[in-house]
Structure 1
Amino acid sequence: MTKIATSSLQRLYIAPSSRLAGTPIVPSSKYYTLRYLLAATLADGESRVFFPAESDDSEALFRGCRALGAELSWEDEQHTVLHVRGVGIPHNDGSVTIDVGNAGAVLRLLLGLGAFLPDVTFVTDHPQSLGKRPNRELLEALTALGATCESSDPEGYLPITIHGGKLHGGEIAISGARSSQYLSSLLFLAPLIGETLEIEVVDGLKSQPFVRITLDILRMAGIAVEHDSELRHFTIAGGQRYQPREYVVPGDYPSAAALLAACATASDPSSLLQLARLQPGDEVGEPLLAAFRALGADLQVNNDTVTLRGGRRLHGADIDGDQIIDCIPVLVAAACFAEGESVFYNIESLHYKESDRIDDLCAELRKAGCAVMPRQDSILVQGRPRGIEGGVEVDGHSDHRVLMALAIVALRSQRGLTLTGVEHIAKSYPHFFTELQQLGADIQFIS
């Protein structure tokens, strides 16, 4: 079997497949890799990060941490252990430019820390994707803390230049309506300011599990954060210091979700998937597994291993997507083959991802023959348990999550699907199509 290298591909044909089986290695978590590496970068001393995620987003993160002053080096040829010599408070002489690629979370968490530098500019080579994602609320908060922020647009689009270095504490407000990443950015920044900072979250808070992950990792790094139970008010004492640690990155639940959804929709009852290194009690993992169970998936958990048997009849469900926002596209794909109607709600933030993961995803699914209806805050799905026609070309919209969803749908189509823009899978899961091949999928390169 030829390994599919997505760095140079643009189109793939995915044929119908009734059976998927295997024990693939789940990629490491992007969420934890990002936060562990930032904590290590901000520590006074040497840290080690075991099993960091390997992807385009990770490369953008590595560039950003080096620009903040950290020294990064691999301890082994397999790239399983990353040694980090932390910088403490970020510093760099002169002007710095950081290319964040198409990594939205990397950008937003680095924007806050970049405010310690005298002059830093953030750029992207994806102007139609990350270049159109707003950062206004975060830039306003950084301005209130003493930085000067310049953007190409009032909504805070890239490129962004920050003139910082002289930050102060006090009281600020940040909106949580569009993204929890704004708040996480401020939480990483706050301990290094020489004064106490109080943060008030207004307009609600989307994707709370990611904030809880941030808080857990800050505690691991020796940082004290006082907050209420609803994550609306935070107090962070100034003058704290991150401590060097050893961090072990768990498997990535959103990547696992794509594999689980593919197996759950397989029609052959001998389909079987076993995924290890998935952290029990995970803030994203627990609601994700609950969503699969709500759809009727035959799923079992034993410590850090999840086993799913395919060939079972799925049924419709109403699923609150806020806690599992990055998993929604593949869950929608699975629901396309369930009996009855499914509703995925509380997902408005999907409009503001690498693509419009509500409107763009639904447009491509409808091309393939799925019955889906986009709404401002939800997606309605009328399941078609017998499968769909397929036989068309669909566009991934430069979005790794949309590509995963379309691949799942292709496997249950009668005539397969041709996917365009598949090189963008490298953003989070470079070997996704190879993994599907190894599970039994028929995937062909189109020159």
Structure 2
Amino acid sequence: MNVQLSFSSEAFSGAVKVTGSKSESNRLLILQALFPQIKLANLSNSDDTRVLQSALASKEEVIDIHHAGTAMRFLTAYFATKEGREVVLTGSERMQERPVKILVEALRQLGADIQYLKNEGFPPLKIVGQKLQKSEVTVQSNISSQYISALMLIAPSLPHGLQINLDGKVTSVPYIEMTLRFLSDCGINGSFENDRIVIEPAGNIPQKEVLIESDWSSASYFYSLVALSEEATVTISSYKEDSYQGDQVVAGIYKQLGVQTIYENDILHLKKCDFKRPRNLVLDLSNSPDLAQTIAVTCLGLGIKCDLTGLHTLRIKETDRLQALKTEIEKLGGQVDITADSLHLIPVENLKAGIKIATYKDHRMALAFAPLALKVPLEIEEAEVVSKSFPGFWNDLENLGFSVINISKG
């Protein structure tokens, strides 16, 4: 479906409930599959998490994870350890263009039996589960932290645990630290110092219930809404001030864009406040690249120039997010220059109205551009793509007073 978005008031307020973090849920589901003593509460309702749950429960020989990149990486490692189990792990056409070679090579170092069924370095994969005996691996660490987290998650189930030697500048460190903290929460010992991660083997871990915090990436879209508003107050739950999620930095970033964050128990209160508009917002997002689309679009709507760096992982996501941002922002009148790892925005005084925003089968394109409806009416193509991470988003916008009209693709 396509949706037409508009907003006719000068102010809005409301409350939103965001389900559990996709990043937290997916890590914990792998740990739960390896250690059933772990119980989980407030799981994400995203497509990605549901796909992962289904794959873990499946007895089929072919498992299709569709567009779920995290599931592809985590399941590749998981099934490599399942002695006697043979699976073909495949996905969508775009998933078969997303590289997985670094992870496969690391798992092969440990003794895994993994073959490429089409193109070298890419899914689909044939995995024959083995008892992995080796306890040390070296992995290139400047491409995707998910490769490293995948290895960390299986590490406590290996006979001797695992030492992971990191080669290169580590990308998205907070996600690695999140994985380590969940291992610790579940009674598993590990450390991350300099370029080495050590995870000890775990036998019988204690019974443990883990409450999953709501998703900070999803919260970012409400920060954008408040920033682009004339006046707004939004409460969203459930969040912790000492969050495990690196995307919590969104609160500090959006303070520069006129959004005040107040923590009250497990609720965030977001309020539009007076602020000195920066001439140029300069950010290194290497530890929180999922915020890049949201921030770029907010700056476009506020008429603020921005220079965002640390974005090299965006080219291998659901789409090439840097190119997609450039294309869609320039439809609206902005000017964008991109490099291999950066985006540079020069905004325009008056945005073009009625533009159709293509989403490229990427949930974050739809979610990031939607708040611009506060400035100009626009249309989001293939709007159902938000179900990948935030199925209730369009309903939440309606509840905040937006006009959200489902129209045909023609």
Q: Same fold (TM over 0.5)?
A: yes
Is residue 2:187 matched to residue 1:222? yes
Gaps of 5+ in 2: none
Q: Where does residue 295 of structure 1 map in the other structure?
A: 257
Find the partner of 1:263 among 210, 214, 226: 226
Cα distance in 1 for residues equivalent to 2:233 and 2:168: 43
Is residue 2:338 matched to residue 1:374? yes
Is residue 2:200 matched to residue 1:237? yes
Change (3 A) 1:104 1:242: farther
Alignment of 1:66-105 (within 5 A): 66-67=57-58, 96-105=61-70
Find the partner of 2:282 among 295, 318, 321: 318
Cα distance in 1 for residues equivalent to 2:66 and 2:371: 26
Q: Where does residue 355 of structure 2 map in the other structure?
A: 392
Cα distance in 2 for residues equivalent to 1:303 and 1:374: 41
Is residue 2:389 matched to residue 1:423? no
Cα distance in 2 for residues equivalent to 1:160 and 1:365: 36
Is residue 2:291 matched to residue 1:327? yes
Is residue 2:7 matched to residue 1:11? no
Deviation at 1:354, TM superposition (A): 0.7
Q: Aligned partner of 1:66: which letter?
A: A
Is residue 2:401 matched to residue 1:435? no
Change (3 A) 1:360 1:284: same
Deviation at 1:396, TM superposition (A): 0.5
User: After TM superposition, which residue ranges in structure 1, 4 or more long, deviate above 6 angstroms?
Assistant: none
Cα distance in 1 for residues equivalent to 2:241 and 2:200: 32
Q: Where does residue 352 of structure 1 map in the other structure?
A: 316
Change (3 A) 1:258 1:291: same
Gaps of 5+ in 1: 1-9, 68-91
Cα distance in 2 for residues equivalent to 1:226 and 1:309: 38
Deviation at 1:371, TM superposition (A): 3.2
Alignment of 1:28-427 (within 5 A): 28-45=20-37, 47-67=38-58, 96-117=61-82, 118=84, 119-124=86-91, 126-128=92-94, 130-153=95-118, 156-228=121-193, 230=194, 232-238=195-201, 240-266=203-229, 268-269=230-231, 271-282=232-243, 283-310=245-272, 314-315=277-278, 316-384=280-348, 387-413=350-376, 416-427=377-388
Cα distance in 2 for residues equivalent to 1:186 and 1:298: 38
Per the alignment, in what secondary structure is the counterpart of residue 21 of structure 1? strand
Q: Give the fraction of aligned pairs with identical amino acids, expressed as a percent.
A: 24
Q: State the number of aligned residues.
A: 402
Q: Normalised by the size of structure 1, how large is the TM-score?
A: 0.85
Would you say the 8 A contact 2:226–2:259 is kept in 1?
no
Change (3 A) 1:248 1:35: same
Change (3 A) 1:152 1:421: farther
**Worse-superposed segment, 167-176 or 235-244:** 235-244
Cα distance in 2 for residues equivalent to 1:407 and 1:391: 12
Q: Normalised by the size of structure 2, how large is the TM-score?
A: 0.92
Q: Aligned partner of 2:379: which letter?
A: T
Q: Aligned partner of 1:420: which letter?
A: E
